[in-house]
Amino acid sequence: MAFSPDSSTPDETSTSRFCDHRHVVMAPFAGGTANKWNIESPLIDFIPGLSSCHIADFPRKLIESYNASDEFVRFILKAFSCVKKADWILVNSFYELESRVYDAMQMLGYPIYGIGPLMKMESESNSLGSECLDWLSQQKPASVIYVAFGSLAKLKTKDMESLALGLQASGLPFLWVIPLESISAMNNSGFASPNGFRDWIASLGLGFITSWAPQREVLGHSAVGAFVSHCGWNSVMESLCEAVPIVACPQGADQIGNARTIAEHLKVGVEIKREDDGSFTKESVQRAIKEIMKNEEARKRIAHLKQVIRDSTTWGSSYFNITKFIDYLFQLHCPCHS
């Protein structure tokens, strides 16, 4: 979020200017491989503060069909032009996670401050989702694979089938959050004929499916051993807060870069191997789950990050930054405040 106390043009009626901010957007790669998932793209190793990455790690819409008149591209460009004018850039992250990026951007004149993760550090009991929590309580510690793709990401039916078969092949218990429309699509596909997808899952004796779950409470449950996620940023933050390693299965937008960060830089997860068309197989799902469940180093790393988050949000960098911003707001509207 970018904030500036004054409008810079006479026709702006708002006294504050805000725009969402998460990632640096690169120019597109016109490589002629718009429909390929595993794009062979140039290595980017010259951006201050940013670890080496590939253009293919950035949002697909920008690298596949860049058009300056495209509504999405125009939105991104406008957002970043606002960022340049901001007095404060507040990010749902924390300094210790991306210190090189914060340092580099501040050296370039961007007033960027991490104030995250923006969520409660302790889980609270909730009557909603009690069935899945009761089911979790019947499982062994760190044995359950939690599967959820957020409220917007939707898997194709083919990928749903591969994921279901991969979970089955893992032999591990799993809790899978599936939207009702996706369950209907699976029923209509004939994959689980004749009794339907819910009954097929039940027949495995391994899984529990639900259309909604209290994610923070689920991730904080002792039975959960890994999180199969689309790697939306909120889900990533929640997983770090609860020290649950991630099996990354990004669908688009910033999720691809987030997944690379999780698997290659932070090393607190693995990514499901994809085919060129973006699909994945039963075998790739099974392999990724097996790898993360035996990866003790990833568990140590993410447990350390959980403690870093606690320190940052209590008396550390995020606490200091949000306190500083609140004090700035008081000074802005009440100069006598100190």
What is the full DSSP assignment across 160-222?
HHHHHHHHHHHT--EEEE--HHHHHHHHHHTTTTTT-HHHHHHHHTSEEEES---HHHHHTST
Residue indicated by tokens 């369950």? 183
Helix (H, G, I), strand (E, B) or coil at 321: helix
Domains recognised in the chain with CATH numbers: 2-119+312-333 (3.40.50.2000), 130-294 (3.40.50.2000)
- Positive or negative torsion for Cα 314, 315, 316, 321: positive
pLDDT in tens, 44-64: 777 777 777 777 677 766 666
Looking at every residue in the chain, the average pLDDT score rounds to 81
Residue 266's pLDDT is what?
A: 92
Crossing angle for the helix pair 157-170 and 197-204, nearest 10 degrees? 10
Question: 233 vs 14, 76, 238, CA distance in Å?
Answer: 28, 17, 9
pLDDT value of residue 252: 79
**For residue 264, what is the DSSP state?**
I
Q: pTM of the full predicted structure? A: 0.82
pLDDT digits (tens, 9 = 90+) for 133-175: 999 999 999 999 999 998 777 888 899 999 999 999 999 999 9
By the 10 Å C-beta count (0-12 exposed, 13-18 middle, 19+ buried), 63 is classed as buried
**Per-residue tens of pLDDT for the chain, all 338 residues:** 655 555 443 333 222 323 333 344 444 444 444 445 665 666 777 777 777 777 767 776 666 655 667 777 778 778 777 777 889 999 999 999 989 989 998 988 889 999 999 876 555 555 557 889 999 999 999 999 999 998 777 888 899 999 999 999 999 999 999 888 888 888 887 776 667 788 888 888 888 989 889 999 999 999 999 999 999 999 999 999 999 999 999 987 889 889 988 998 899 999 999 888 888 999 999 999 999 999 999 999 999 999 999 999 999 999 999 999 999 998 887 766 55
Give residue 334's identity as a one-letter amino acid code: C
How far is 39 from 36, CA to CA, in rounded Å? 6
